[in-house]
Amino acid sequence: MDSELRRASSLAQSGRLAEATELYRNILTRSPEDAEATHFLGICLTQSGRRDEGLPLLERSLGLAPQNAMYRQNYGLMLAEAGEIAAAAAQFERLVKADPANATAHNYLGMARQRLGAFDDAIRSYREALRLKPADAAAANNLGYCLLERGDIEGAIGCLRRSLAADAQNPMAHNNLGNALRARGELPGAVESYHRAIALAPGLPNAHHNLALVLRDLDERYAALEAARSAVHCAPDNGAYWQLFADLIAVSRFTAWDAGFAADCERLFSQTEVEVQQCAEAVLSLVRLGPRGRLFLLLLEHAIVADEAFEQEMTALRRELVTSPVSLELCCALAQQCFLNEYLWPELEEETAVVSQRPARTALEIAVRAMYRPLKGIDKPAGANEAFDRMWRRLVEEPGAEAKIEVPVLTPIADAVSRKVQAQYELNPYPRWHRAPGAGPFPLPKLLRSLFPQIDPAKLAAPDAPEILIAGCGSGRHAAITAQMQPLGRVLAVDISRASLAHAMRRCQELGLRNLRFAQADILELGRIEERFDLIECSGVLHHMADPLVGWRVLLSLLRPGGFMKLGLYSELGRTSIVAARELVKGLEVREARERIFALPAAHPARKVATLRDFYTASGARDLILHVQEHRFTIPLLAKAMDALEVEFLGFELVGPRRSMSLEEWDTFEAAAPDSFSTMYQFWIRKP
Ligand SMILES: C[S@@+](CC[C@H](N)C(=O)[O-])C[C@H]1O[C@@H](n2cnc3c(N)ncnc32)[C@H](O)[C@@H]1O
């Protein structure tokens, strides 16, 4: 039997798993209690993807030979591979208990704990592994990774260098060292580390992705875009890599047709849950240089294109199509664009006449109608094509589902201004979003340390599993991002607008976000709830109240001492052109308002609003220049408010180099660069 076991083992080692499996089974028919055959049959089956059969055999082999450390280690590894991390950790714990000098088992235990998110326990295991075996490159690499997760950059760099001294050929250690150097601000060093990782493992997507991030920090946009492109080529199913690719394309403009890039952009737009809105104009610059093919249709279907000339071209194209609709696919794509912009484009009387008189029974007739109006009271025709089905889903089925959603009510809405603002957002939920911003996990303690490296870490102490309130969540994009970034946190998202909340609930359910609940509530009435929060986010909301400080105070009363608040408030300077536009269009309906702005001479201060994305949807344009209630702040006003509220200012969230400046210095900075906060002042405070 020994020779049979040896033969089965050599078959398994040379990858001939089916033959090895058969041999082990033969042995077990004759000797059902043979531990070795039971164990390795379990391994062969697990490695052939038959975990349900393999794992019980591995467990049984331990029943037959409970002291066999190698069997237990293998069982732990197979459990980990099967995603049963807690069970794997339990096996490694038994191993280290039986033999505390087993360095490998300590390392494996650390890896399991790390995957469970128990970083401090993992760090203890790795330290023990290294105490027992100081040149263990794997344990040093793992420890370096965990220390970095815990914000100990120097400790991480020390460990990663130690790992590389023991084994310079480990691409993951180079990659991790790159991350640590990036966190320390040593960007060229980080680039070098990622290049080393890539030289050792050209197909390591993570290293390409990280390289793209650091090149972006260095403002080397095109090199960053190429690195991000390599990452998506290596791992075409990874949404986070596609998201970075999209973000980097957004700041590019094409000057020549590039079929390779067009193919990558088509793949990008086909990722259902990657946000592509931000790269619409960049992709338009490519589409304009080539044939009006698939990418053009995808662009119309998935992104609001904020471009004046394109709007004119498409308005003219729609006019042609209404009289001679040549292609169902094109009509459907254009209808999707019109749905996204909420039928904002101007139409001539003759178009109105055709649309209102022509029947909408066939797929083509319905698609033509859908280019101008929401589809109501129309039956779906049989036998349409895929483009029509997608259009029907978004234009008919999804709004229908939202209308039926029951939104929980948390407080009444009594305040007169709240009701006025509610009416606006019931009609025009904001923002329009149809694809998920694929935000990866970014635990709050780590996020705070990365945003404010200059602040004493003790001040930034925050729970790994925070209670979070999103106050004024709108149509849910904001809440979805936060819920994705804080997967261990629990998020309550409230808004006054039922329509916005229904959209939010449908989208977040589709995204499978389980740590998030929604309710209709007026911030002004929230003082009555019992819950308290570690983090409150309120962006673009308080400035729509009669007195923003009243709402701000209510929110602070819900924040735990030592808790954090992220706010977004309008800047007086940042909105100069918007204020000028608001003055000009007061009292107008949204289409008239846009016409008035488009008709202004190019040099007019209000004309600039026609370059903003919000100007290209009905809800965005209303939010931008026709809002029923709007306050704006200056930095001295913010300082005064924070003094009165007795909160600590942590800093602004501004893309680019982080600056540890006082509010006075920020005021001078904004005066010199008045567009710095053109979207809003996005900043963080802490409740002492
Ligand atoms: C411009 S949107 C911002 C949405 C979201 N925070 C974001 O950044 O995408 C403003 C939202 O604030 C909500 N809002 C305004 N006043 C509110 C109040 N008193 N209580 C709750 N929500 C309010 C509106 O209904 C609207 O959805």
Tens of pLDDT, residue by residue over 340-376, are 999 999 999 999 999 999 889 999 999 999 999 999 8
Residue 418 Cβ contacting ligand 1 at under 6 Å = yes
Arithmetic mean of pLDDT, 307-315: 97
The pLDDT score that the predictor gives to residue 655 is 61
Give me 127's structure tokens: 């330290």
State mean pLDDT over 209-229.
96
Three-state DSSP at 516 gives: strand
Q: How far is the CA of 43 from the centre of ligand 1 (A)?
A: 55
The pLDDT tens digits of the residues spanning 52-88 come to: 999 999 999 999 999 999 999 999 999 999 999 999 9
Distance 652 CA to ligand 1 centre (A): 20
CB 472 less than 6 A from any atom of ligand 1: yes
The span from the CA of 394 to the CA of 335, in Å, is 10
Mutate to test the pocket of ligand 1, among 427, 432, 496 (most ligand atoms within 8 A of CB): 496
Residue 486: closest CA among 117, 115, 110, 113? 117
Tell which atom from ligand 1 comes closest to the C-alpha of 568. Answer: 8
pLDDT at site 661: 83
The residue to mutate among 425, 473, 541, having the most atoms of ligand 1 within 8 angstroms of its beta carbon, is: 541
* pLDDT confidence of residue 659: 66
Does 432 sit in the ligand 1 pocket, CB within 6 Å?
no
pLDDT at 454: 80
Q: What is the predicted pLDDT for the residue at 272?
A: 80
Closest ligand 1 atom to 477 CA: 9
Characterize the bridge pairing of strands 648-652 and 681-686.
antiparallel
pLDDT band for position 335 (cuts 50, 70, 90): very high
CA-nearest of 496, 507, 520 to 398 is 507
Do you find a cis peptide bond into 441, omega within 30 degrees of 0? no
Q: How many helices (H) and strands (E) does the chain have?
A: 34, 7
Of 114-118, 142-146, 655-659, the range with the highest mean pLDDT is 142-146
pLDDT for 109: 97
Mutate to test the pocket of ligand 1, among 413, 421, 503, 578 (most ligand atoms within 8 A of CB): 421
Predicted confidence (pLDDT) at residue 566 exceeds the cutoff of 80:
yes
pLDDT of residue 67: 92
Determine if ligand 1 sits within 6 Å of the CB of residue 162.
Answer: no
Instruction: Kindly tell me if the per-residue pLDDT of 199 is higher than 70.
Output: yes
- Whether ligand 1 lies within 6 angstroms of the CB of 541 is answered as yes
pLDDT at 679: 87
pLDDT of residue 431: 83
What is the predicted pLDDT for the residue at 450?
A: 82
Please give the number of the atom of ligand 1 that sits closest to the Cα of 523.
20
Q: How confident is the model at residue 46 (pLDDT cuts 50, 70, 90)?
A: very high
Say if CB 179 and CB 152 are below 8 A apart: no
Q: Detail the DSSP E strand segments found in 433-515.
A: 467-471, 490-495
Q: Averaged over 422-442, what is the pLDDT? A: 83
Amino acid sitting at position 111: M
Ligand 1 pocket, residue 210 CB under 6 Å: no
pLDDT at 433: 83
pLDDT, averaged across the chain: 94
- What pLDDT sits at residue 396? 96
Average pLDDT over residues 537-565: 97
Distance (Å, rounded) from C-alpha 346 to C-alpha 591? 7
pLDDT per position as a tens digit, 441-494 = 888 988 998 888 788 888 999 998 999 999 999 999 999 999 999 999 999 999
pLDDT in tens, 486-517: 999 999 999 999 999 999 999 999 989 999 99
pLDDT of residue 435: 78
**Ligand 1 pocket, residue 477 CB under 6 Å:** yes
DSSP string, 186-246: -HHHHHHHHHHHHHH-TT-HHHHHHHHHHHHHTT-HHHHHHHHHHHHHH-TT-HHHHHHHH
Contacts of 220 (CB under 8 A, 6+ apart): none
**Residue 298 carries which side chain, given as an amino acid letter?**
L
Contact 495 CB / ligand 1 (< 6 Å): yes
Question: Measured from the CB, is residue 431 less than 6 Å from ligand 1?
Answer: yes
523 CB within 6 A, ligand 1? yes
Residue 658 has what pLDDT? 59
Q: Using DSSP, state whether 519 is helix, strand or coil.
A: strand
Letter string b/e over residues 74-110, b meaning 16 or more CB atoms within 10 A of that residue's CB: bbbbbbbeeebbebbbebbbbbbeeeeebbbbbbbbb
pTM of the shown model: 0.83
Distance 120 CA to ligand 1 centre (A): 39
pLDDT over 60 (residue 683):
yes
Q: From the CA of 542, how far away is ligand 1's center (Å)?
A: 8
Q: To the nearest 5 percent, what fractions of the chain are helix, strand and coil?
A: 60, 5, 30
In the prediction, which pLDDT does 529 show? 95
- Residue 332 vs residue 4, higher pLDDT: 332
Q: How distant is the alpha carbon of residue 250 from its chain centre? A: 16
The stretch 135-142 carries a mean pLDDT of 96
496 lines ligand 1 (CB under 6 A): yes
Percent of the chain with pLDDT over 90: 85
> What's the average model confidence in pLDDT over 383-403?
93
Is the CB of 540 inside a 6 Å radius of any atom of ligand 1?
Answer: yes
What is the reported pLDDT for 281?
94
- pLDDT tens digits for 624-667? 999 988 999 999 999 999 999 999 999 999 865 556 788 999 99
